Amino acid sequence: NAMANRMLEDLIVLARGGCTPHPVRPHLASTPVLPEVNTGASGKAAPPAAPYGRAVANSESVFKDVSEAEAATTALWLQDTYAFSNSARVVRVSCVPTDESQKENSRKWEVVLDATIFHPQGGGQPSDQGQLAADGREWRVLAVRASKSGVVSHEIEHEGAAPPFAAGAILTCKVDEGFRCEAARLHSGGHLLDVAMQACGCDIKPTKGYHFSPGAYVEYAGKLGAEEREALVPQLQAHVEALIAQNLPTSVQTLPARQLSQLCPSMAANFSSPSDADKPIRVVTLAGLAGPCGGTHVRHTGEIGRLVIDGIKTKGKATRVSYHT
């Protein structure tokens, strides 16, 4: 229950459309894999969905206690989808508690850097994959998490009782280019579905995005009849293909929350409290549709290449559109 409450705290209420909003200091849950979550038309926050895929190691409580005193990590992944490496200084490296059998072979370590190119898991998008490298050695990054205060930790495996490097050491972060680009195509594809749904005259509101492969989907609040769903698949497919063929640009900008009403008026109500007015919000506009988002996106819709609508199903009171790129 405490976990559920923390996850709820991480949700910002949306009235409609777009994605889970991310302030510039990434407001991402350090939780297992979760879809991008918006709210229904009621304006109430939807409860977090059950975790999907592999749950990350439960080092969260340890990480949270330490990280609250640390400065936020510079979030380089927000700046350029196609930048795949950076040099960074180690702020902290600490052993992740594991059970005894694991300790005999190797240990997991949590590495906090001053800046990182790794996208942490959150907002419906998985952690980037890749390596940390120093002095000719490399460690595969197993998971990347961001705390509520924006401290990003990289989990690596390293044999022995001593840490692989010390605080102050300079490392190179290397993100797997293929995985990053596929994640961008999938996430941008989810936004493109929202555009195509509107183009089809389907005004049910997006509530969740799960931009993982396989099994990507966007969920919308409201039900469609069986015939409507069947007819919608080819229409959506045609609109998506047209939007990709038009090679429409993506733009990313950061603006104070009070200016959201100009770009995405439907979101503005969620940042209407005076304390939010100056909060910097990252807004992604893809194929003309703007929404707060912390994901990595393609520069033009043509880079998505292809997007196949796998099907449309009713899930309780929601409609789920499944797709792959």
**Would you state the structure tokens that stand for residue 213, as one six-digit string?**
């492969």
The answer to whether the beta carbons of residues 143 and 181 sit under 8 Å apart is no
Should residue 293 be labelled a site residue for Zn ion when binding is judged by CB under 5 A? yes
Binding to Zn ion (CB under 5 A) within 156-195 occurs at none
Residue whose C-alpha is closest to residue 232's, from 297, 165, 322: 322
Collapsing DSSP states into helix, strand and coil, what is residue 166?
coil
Q: How far is the CB of 19 from Zn ion (least distance, A)?
A: 3
Site size toward Zn ion (CB under 5 A) is 3
Helix (H) or strand (E) holding 253: strand 250-256
- Which residue lies nearer to Zn ion by CB, 64 or 300? 300
- Which residue lies nearer to Zn ion by CB, 19 or 267? 19
- Which residue lies nearer to Zn ion by CB, 23 or 295? 295
Helices and strands counted in the chain (H then E): 7, 16
Collapsing DSSP states into helix, strand and coil, what is residue 217?
strand
Residues 6+ apart with CB under 8 A from 300: 247, 248, 249, 250
Q: How far is the CB of 294 from Zn ion (least distance, A)?
A: 7
Specify the stretch interacting with Zn ion by CB under 5 A; choose among 14-22, 26-34, 156-164, 315-323.
Answer: 14-22
Which of 11, 19, 76, 112 is in the footprint of Zn ion by CB under 5 A? 19
Specify the stretch interacting with Zn ion by CB under 5 A; choose among 16-24, 150-158, 240-248, 313-321.
Answer: 16-24
Q: How far is the CB of 135 from Zn ion (least distance, A)?
A: 37
Q: How far is the CB of 208 from Zn ion (least distance, A)?
A: 11
Residue nearest to Zn ion (CB): 19
Residues 6+ apart with CB under 8 A from 217: 35, 208, 209, 210, 320, 321, 322, 323
Binding region for Zn ion (CB under 5 A): 19, 293, 295
